[in-house]
Structure 1
């Protein structure tokens, strides 16, 4: 563009409305290029052979196929690309993946995401759980300092199942306590988060998930439930119990569980938009929320793609 035209264009920006400025900002934030070239630039290559797990030094360029660069492993002789062995392998309409990544950021429903991306609702549903399959395992591997833990509960949902092990309930009907699914949420003061769907809320199951997660020199802050005292004694952790039933919120000015309770509140409020999540997919939705919390304002469709193929930039937080 000519310099004079560019200066004239800048002068016209002051005449734009707030909505028009937002549209211009979104247009400038979009990557330049065809959808295929943009997608290829956002997908990092594998750090090892997807077939024989040979190191990256054994991988050599081997042309291109379907818009993606191919590589050949010198150890096993097999070829692959950036999607081989990932949940997104063999999915079609890749030109819409960035649009679907934005739908995940906005937490759109299946029908809304399908309408925005121009695909069928069944395709949007399949993409949702393919995109979230790897993200569901992306949680903090270690937490230290002051670590808060608390459980939250979701109603057991058999949505989509044709054969139930119990009598069907009407929508909105309260469920008995034995049909609730417990989720243990663990957060430290650095913002590292991990949550686990528990088979049973007892000391053995809680200890099994806390043992590899919480550092030995950490201080475990929980409510006054006895099972946490048992777990802390078994794991050799320093334990501070907060008696919330007596309206005690903070002990010694530093020990509380308000951080994890706030996360539980945000999680529950965010989940309401889906009007009930099938229990078999609950871990995918927990990973979805962790992804949004982890990136916050820095999240982008490209980050969602890297999460979906398991090659996000935060892998130092995950177990190897």
Structure 2
């Protein structure tokens, strides 16, 4: 728009009715979101500045995509690409709304339910769900990988869930070809004379957490709590010069003994080594409480998606910037 036309447009804004002002505000908000998403995509292109096919840096502009993203033609292999060519959101037609979903997931406020967010963005609920799964996949590296000083290790547990599974329906429809699932559905306990299992069982999935005093955090779902599993989970991240605060589980004892790491065994009442207040697992327990608060509104996500929810929780607890996440994925 020419400057003269733009000034005339501004002069006529005062003639709009309240309903027209509200409609114009919605249109401006939509344009702003689109422009911001395109800007972030361009920032990724400027940062990498290499052809994703041959890594040549020589390029020239070559039109735009359907979503108005700038395309480039490589001067070497002559292939065209954009800032989304190698990203997992390259097939999404509304990157602006995708960024809004990402902001809702990574914001300080609790994330909105899928249906409410779909109504707010005028999208289908299955689209919001699919976008969330894409984001969870992009958050797979959210946990910290380096720990130093005093490191706290402990486990929390998430009840196994087969939400969305058709195993019981398949069994009831065709028991000859579909065997009965290994356990009853959760709501059937107590109704058929089967008492609810108390305490830990194989239906409680362990999640190993690591926390140090510098703010590093890690949560990882592990298949069990055997010695080999604990040692394999700790070995890549716990350095030999740290002090590991953990309970008396044999996996922690064997791991620290084999690598000559100082192990402070945290007992139910007080810590060992003179009862020093510096050695505790209160930060790990606090992280567990934050996880329970985060996961409670989802009413037990399906276990096949649990890893993604753990990545999401860690990214939120570490205050990841949604714009940076948008650029990265």
Q: Tell me if both proteins adopt one fold, taking TM over 0.5 as the criterion.
A: yes
Select between 228-237 and 253-262 the one with higher mean Cα deviation. 228-237
- Tell me, in whole angstroms, the C-alpha distance in 2 between the residues paired with 1:221 and 1:251: 12
Q: In the alignment, which residue of structure 2 is the partner of 1:183?
A: 207
Instruction: Please list, as runs of the form range in 1=range in 2, the aligned pairs for 1:1-320 lying within 5 A after superposition.
Output: 34-43=32-41, 44-45=43-44, 47=48, 51-52=52-53, 54=55, 57=57, 61-65=61-65, 66-74=67-75, 76-104=77-105, 105=107, 106-163=110-167, 165-171=181-187, 173=189, 174=196, 177-244=201-268, 246-248=269-271, 251-295=275-319, 303-308=321-326, 310=328
Structure 1's 58 and 186: CA in aligned 2 closer, same or farther, altered over 3 A?
Answer: farther
- 1:221 match: secondary structure: strand
**How far is the alpha carbon of 1:268 from its aligned partner?**
0.8
**How far is the alpha carbon of 1:82 from its aligned partner?**
2.2
Larger Rg: 2
**How far is the alpha carbon of 1:307 from its aligned partner?**
1.9
Q: In the alignment, which residue of structure 1 is the partner of 2:174?
A: none
- Tell me, in whole angstroms, the C-alpha distance in 1 between the residues paired with 2:265 and 2:115: 45
- 2:318 match: secondary structure: helix
Structure 1's 309 and 286: CA in aligned 2 closer, same or farther, altered over 3 A?
Answer: farther
Deviation readout 1:38-93 (Å, 9 max, x if unpaired): 111223425375744737x4566544322212234455443322222322220233
Q: CA RMSD in A?
A: 2.8
> Does the CA contact (< 8 Å) of 1:219 and 1:238 recur in 2?
yes
Q: In the alignment, which residue of structure 2 is the partner of 1:15?
A: none
**How far is the alpha carbon of 1:208 from its aligned partner?**
1.6
**How far is the alpha carbon of 1:273 from its aligned partner?**
0.7
**How far is the alpha carbon of 1:132 from its aligned partner?**
1.6
> Does the CA contact (< 8 Å) of 2:99 and 2:326 recur in 1?
no
- Tell me, in whole angstroms, the C-alpha distance in 2 between the residues paired with 1:238 and 1:188: 15
- Tell me, in whole angstroms, the C-alpha distance in 2 between the residues paired with 1:102 and 1:181: 29
Select between 200-209 and 116-125 the one with higher mean Cα deviation. 200-209
- 2:240 match: secondary structure: coil
Structure 1's 264 and 61: CA in aligned 2 closer, same or farther, altered over 3 A?
Answer: farther
> Does the CA contact (< 8 Å) of 2:54 and 2:77 recur in 1?
no
- Tell me, in whole angstroms, the C-alpha distance in 2 between the residues paired with 1:72 and 1:209: 45
- Tell me, in whole angstroms, the C-alpha distance in 2 between the residues paired with 1:157 and 1:74: 52
Name the TM-score, length of structure 1 as normaliser.
0.76
**How far is the alpha carbon of 1:158 from its aligned partner?**
0.8
Q: In the alignment, which residue of structure 2 is the partner of 1:315?
A: none
> Does the CA contact (< 8 Å) of 1:203 and 1:227 recur in 2?
yes
Structure 1's 61 and 256: CA in aligned 2 closer, same or farther, altered over 3 A?
Answer: farther
> Does the CA contact (< 8 Å) of 2:221 and 2:307 recur in 1?
yes
Structure 1's 183 and 64: CA in aligned 2 closer, same or farther, altered over 3 A?
Answer: same
Structure 1's 75 and 125: CA in aligned 2 closer, same or farther, altered over 3 A?
Answer: same
> Does the CA contact (< 8 Å) of 2:231 and 2:251 recur in 1?
no
- Tell me, in whole angstroms, the C-alpha distance in 2 between the residues paired with 1:59 and 1:81: 11
Q: How many residues align?
A: 275
- Tell me, in whole angstroms, the C-alpha distance in 2 between the residues paired with 1:62 and 1:168: 59
> Does the CA contact (< 8 Å) of 1:218 and 1:237 recur in 2?
yes
